[in-house]
Structures are given as C-alpha cells and as structure tokens.
Chains A and B, each alone.
Chain A
C-alpha cells in the first residue's frame, strides 16, 4: 500500500516545529514502527535526517513508542501501543498525520520524541513503598481477596506511556497518577503509606504543570492498557480524606 505521511518535525525543544510530507510503500503485515523504520532507512540512504521516534520493547509493555496518529494517541486501534498497531489497519492511499504527545509538561526533545521525566518525578514523589516487603514468598503469606488483587493488577498494568495526558484536552495526568496511587493503596504493603503518598504525588503532578481533570473520559478511551477513570474517582476520595485526616498542618 502506498501511504502519505504528514510527520511532525521539530529540531529541539526551543525550535518551532512543522509538518513534513513523505510517501512510503508499506506492507499489510508491517507494524507501524517497521513502516517508520523503512521510511527512515530511505531517508538515511538519501543522506537526509531520519525522523526521531522513541521505541524500545516493541511488544506493548514498555510505554516508549509514543505518537499521535490521526489525532489518536497510539493510533486508531483501541487497547494497543503503536508497536502493536499493524498497517492492515490502514488502506492504500491513506494520509496519516503523525504528531508527538502535546502537553506543556511533555516538551518535545526532537520530532516525535517527548521528555516524560515529569512522570518520573511524580513516581519519585511517592510511587514506592519505603519498608522492606520481603521476598516473593512473603507476599504470598498475606491473603488478599481475589477482587482486590484483580483491581490492583488492573491499575498496575499502567505502563506510564502518557497517552492519557496526550489524549486529555487539559493535558491532565490524573489517570496515570491515580493508577499508580490506587495500585499501591489497594495492597497491604502499600496501604500504610497511602495518605502521604496520594498527597505527595498530587502535589508533584500539579507542580509539573499538568492540567486539571474535567472528566471528559478521553484518557480511558485512548489508554493502551484500558485503565478506567474509576481510578481517578478513587484518588479523589483518597485525597480528600488524606488532607482532612492528616496530622501535619500543611
């Protein structure tokens, strides 16, 4: 199939970007990233600058391959990352617009690569357990109800790709933050620190310049791991009770 790509090119954070058109010959069985590889190889052979895009595992679990394809983070196929998207989802002659995540807190490093270290700082603020939880068999010694374990696992499937922020018209990071807050708060090892954790992570999220949630639900539609906004509601509850119930005066 012959495709026309409108790709966002941007030299660096300080340069302003624009779209560049390329045509590429793709095969049905190629993944989207392989199609990009083919284009880049051609650009290299033509002594042109290849398109910068981030990728790592190429099996849908690392959250690195982030691009907005025709306005949708991770492309038109639901519940997958870009690397798991295949060209059979497109038709011969299609025009495909490829853009980076757009959010103030995710500045573009180059072309389609954005700096997501703001997510790392949210995790650093509280997305951990500070006591020794022992070895694997110690976790098995604590009985956890199946439903709770499943709920925690659903939240824990977040790969931190940032599609929620990219999809949100407010660039809000609440789906990400709430998934992390909830996954730890649901399990006994993480429960102890959860009031402190939720306050610290929300504070960091606000400081990073992410927007406020207006419950549009776009995040859960685009999330490659299909994480529910029920997590955001749970974080809202937890935050209010943590603020009101805490001993410190700030």
Chain B
C-alpha cells in the first residue's frame, strides 16, 4: 500500500488530486445551477421547494452529497498544502514582476480562499439552516417541506447580499478560467487536436456558469 501514498504525495500525484476533485466540483456547479434556475419560475417557489426536498431526501443524492463534501474538503486541504509548499520552493520573489502568465493562473490560491469564504457564508445562509430545521415549513400537495424559497428570496431582497453574490461569482469565474483547462493538463490531456476545444469550452464554462448563478439574485431583487 506504500506505493499509493508515495504516488499521491508526489508532486504529480498532488496535481492529480487537485485535478480530479476540481473536475468533480466543475460538474457539480452545472447540476447546482440547473436546479437553482427553478428559483426563477413564476410559481411562488413551488417547484424549487419540491426540488430542494428531493435533493435532501433522495438516498442516492444523499450518498453523492457525502462524496461532494469530501471532495470539496480534499480540494481545499490539498490546495492549501500545494500552495504552501510551492511558496516554500520559490523562497523569494523578483523585484520586477514580469508578465508571463495570466493573473488568475498565478493567483489560484487567493481566488480559492475567497471562494472558501463565500462558501462558508453561502452554506450558513441556506444549507445549514435547512439541515437544522430553522426554516419555516410550507405544505405543497399535502406534503410538508422547508420553505427554502422564502429564505432565498428574503436574502436576495438585501442589496448587500446581491452584490456579495455577484462579486463572488466573478471570483468563481476567474478560478474556473484557469482551473477548467488546467485540470485536463494535469491529467496529461494536452494535444494540438483537442486542447483548443478544451480551452474554448473552459472559457465558455467559466463565463456562462457564474453568469447563470449571478442572474438569480439580480433577477430576484429587481424583477420579483
């Protein structure tokens, strides 16, 4: 078993962990966005509440969510370890900073830390309150469930939160703009044939997904 530890703690193994957990989180974002777009449905929050109930009670999704929690945690811990070790390896910086990489690529750890702060606030606001049953119930088609929609629309009536969410989504977009294509490079997938496609899809993804998320609070504040 020693080989697994040697493999995963090598510089290349650590990159592999970042890459695989990152790709999982990238996929999660899409699922999360598709579900959340139901907040925009004009039905008083019925479809969103039913969806939230489904997401917290379906055993298969519950099982997957434990995977999600552990992958988020692994991505954070491994990310901090890699960033710390890399800092040690560099030692000191140059007096003149040259432009030889894009800003997001060399500031992934800072962007990641900002996302972590966002994540903690975001989880506290909705997920944590839902888990602890702090959210007032609502009955839809004879089934009692948490009225998460009401909590969300309450939060997004506050312009401060709307701005906070929009800024956070810009940070997520920047993190994705490097992370998406970087994940494939770490997996060893770099080829003249398909790398332009990966980069194109990555750019589109890092714009469209955060944009989709940012539209929700903006829409709920201004239109609803």
A interface with B by C-beta (< 8 Å): 6, 19, 68, 70-72, 97, 99, 102-105, 167-172, 174, 202-203, 205-206, 209-218, 221-222, 229-230, 232-240, 243, 248-250
Identify the stretch in B156-164, B178-186, B203-211 within 8 Å (CB) of chain A at 4 or more residues. B178-186
12 A-B pairs in the complex with CB atoms less than 8 angstroms apart: A70-B96, A97-B94, A102-B91, A202-B12, A211-B89, A212-B86, A216-B101, A221-B100, A232-B190, A233-B188, A236-B188, A250-B2
For A248, the closest partner residue in chain B by CB is B3
- B16 contacts the other chain (Cβ, under 8 Å)? yes
B residues 162-219 in Cβ contact with A at 8 Å: 178, 181-182, 185-192
Q: Which residues on A sit within 8 Å (CB–CB) of B16?
A: 236, 240
On whether the beta carbons of B11 and A213 are closer than 8 Å, the reply is yes
Task: Count B interface residues, CB 8 Å.
Answer: 42
Q: Which residues on B sit within 8 Å (CB–CB) of A72?
A: 98, 100
Q: Which residues on A sit within 8 Å (CB–CB) of B192?
A: 230
B residues 135-160 in Cβ contact with A at 8 Å: none
On whether the beta carbons of A202 and B10 are closer than 8 Å, the reply is yes
On whether the beta carbons of B101 and A240 are closer than 8 Å, the reply is no
Q: How distant is the Cα of A174 from the Cα of B86 in the complex, in angstroms?
A: 13
On whether the beta carbons of A210 and B89 are closer than 8 Å, the reply is yes
On whether the beta carbons of A104 and B189 are closer than 8 Å, the reply is no
- Report the number of A-B residue pairs with Cβ-Cβ less than 8 Å: 140
Q: Which residues on A sit within 8 Å (CB–CB) of B101?
A: 169, 216-218, 221
Q: Which residues on A sit within 8 Å (CB–CB) of B190?
A: 229-230, 232-234
Q: How distant is the Cα of A232 from the Cα of B6 in the complex, in angstroms?
A: 20
On whether the beta carbons of A97 and B95 are closer than 8 Å, the reply is yes
Q: How distant is the Cα of A205 from the Cα of B11 in the complex, in angstroms?
A: 9
Q: Which residues on B sit within 8 Å (CB–CB) of A222?
A: 100
B interface with A by C-beta (< 8 Å): 2-3, 6-7, 10-12, 14-16, 82, 85-98, 100-102, 105-106, 108, 178, 181-182, 185-192
- Known contacts A202-B11, A229-B185, A250-B2; is A212 also within 8 Å of B85 by CB? yes
Q: Which residues on A sit within 8 Å (CB–CB) of B185?
A: 215, 229, 232-233, 236
Q: How distant is the Cα of A237 from the Cα of B187 in the complex, in angstroms?
A: 7
Q: Which residues on A sit within 8 Å (CB–CB) of B87?
A: 170
On whether the beta carbons of A211 and B105 are closer than 8 Å, the reply is no
Q: How distant is the Cα of A229 from the Cα of B88 in the complex, in angstroms?
A: 23
Q: Which residues on B sit within 8 Å (CB–CB) of A237?
A: 187-188
On whether the beta carbons of A105 and B89 are closer than 8 Å, the reply is yes
Q: How distant is the Cα of A68 from the Cα of B97 in the complex, in angstroms?
A: 11
Q: Which residues on A sit within 8 Å (CB–CB) of B82?
A: 212, 214
For B91, the closest partner residue in chain A by CB is A104
Q: Which residues on A sit within 8 Å (CB–CB) of B95?
A: 6, 19, 71, 97, 99
CB distance from A19 to the nearest CB of B (A): 7
Interface centre among B12, B92, B181 (most CB of A within 10 A): B12
Q: Which residues on B sit within 8 Å (CB–CB) of A170?
A: 86-87, 89-90
For B90, the closest partner residue in chain A by CB is A171
On whether the beta carbons of B105 and A215 are closer than 8 Å, the reply is yes
Q: How distant is the Cα of A211 from the Cα of B85 in the complex, in angstroms?
A: 7
Interface centre among B3, B93, B182, B185 (most CB of A within 10 A): B185
On whether the beta carbons of B188 and A234 are closer than 8 Å, the reply is yes
- Known contacts A172-B11, A240-B16; is A71 also within 8 Å of B97 by CB? yes
On whether the beta carbons of B182 and A215 are closer than 8 Å, the reply is yes
CB distance from B140 to the nearest CB of A (A): 47
Q: How distant is the Cα of A235 from the Cα of B90 in the complex, in angstroms?
A: 22
Q: Which residues on B sit within 8 Å (CB–CB) of A105?
A: 89
Q: Which residues on B sit within 8 Å (CB–CB) of A238?
A: 188
Q: How distant is the Cα of A121 from the Cα of B10 in the complex, in angstroms?
A: 17
Q: How distant is the Cα of A152 from the Cα of B93 in the complex, in angstroms?
A: 33
CB distance from B121 to the nearest CB of A (A): 26
For A174, the closest partner residue in chain B by CB is B11
Interface centre among B10, B96, B192 (most CB of A within 10 A): B96
On whether the beta carbons of A167 and B86 are closer than 8 Å, the reply is no
Interface centre among B2, B93, B94 (most CB of A within 10 A): B94
- Known contacts A171-B86, A209-B89; is A214 also within 8 Å of B182 by CB? yes
CB distance from B110 to the nearest CB of A (A): 12
Partner among A167, A214, A215 whose Cβ is within 8 Å of the Cβ of B100: A167
